[in-house]
Amino acid sequence: MKCEVCKRETPNRYCELHENAYGNIMQKFEVWKDAAGMSWEQYLNEIVENQFTGIWAKEVAQHLLKNKE
């Protein structure tokens, strides 16, 4: 199986690096929802645009947006 983002070989959906970023995205959504009342899609768009978001997190967010997940 290949990582859906970077195509590295992995037994899971994402490689270790992107899996970690994906975990962070999922974990932080609740905080964003509570703080600014955002939907999942708005949240993903926000973190893709945000200058402090790490490159791997941005890649995962872009991938999720593209696949409308």
Partner 1 sequence: MEKYTLIITEKPNAAQRIAQALDHKGKPKRVEEKNVSYFLAKRDKLLVVVSALGHLYTVMHIGKGRNYYPVFNFKWAPRYLAERGAKHIRAWIEVVSKLAKNAEEFIDACDYDIEGSLIGYCLLKYACGNKENVAKRMKFSTLTKKELEKAYSEPLPELDFALIEAGKTRHEVDWLYGVNVSRALTLAAKRWSGRYATLSTGRVQGPTLNFLIDRERSIRSFVPVPYWNVRAAVYVEGTAYEVEYEKKTFEKRVDADAVVKACKGKAGKIEKIEKRSTKQKPPIPFDLGALQTEAYGLFGCTPRRTSHIAERLYLGALISYPRTSSQKLPSAIGYRAILKGLNKERAYKRLASGLLKIGELKPREGVKEDPAHPAVYPTGNVPERALDESERRIWDLVVRRFMAVFGEPAVKQSMRVTINVNGHRFYLRGRRILKEGWMKFYKPYVRTEELALPPLNEGETVQLGEMLREDKFTKPPPRFNPSSLLKKMEEVGIGTKATRADIIETLHSRKYITEERIVVTDLGFDIIDVLHRYCQGVISVELTRELEEKMQRIQTNSEKRENVLFEVVEGLKPMLEELKQREAVIGEALSNAIKRSRMQERIVGDCPTCHTGKLMILYSRKTRKRFIGCTNYFKNVCQTSFPLPQRGTVKPLHRPCKGCGWPTLIVKMRGRRPWTLCFNDSCPKKEERRKRLEMRSLQKRNPE
Q: What is the DSSP string of 9-20?
A: B-SSSS-HHHHH
Residue 58 backbone phi and psi in degrees, to 5: -65, -45
C-beta closer to partner 1: residue 4 or 56: 56
| Residues numbered 43-62 forming contacts with partner 1, rule: CB under 8 A | 47, 50, 52-57
C-alpha to C-alpha distance for 29 and 12, rounded to whole angstroms: 22
Minimum Å distance from CB 50 to partner 1? 6
Residue ranges binding partner 1 (CB under 8 A): 17, 20-21, 24-25, 27-28, 31-32, 34-36, 47, 50, 52-57
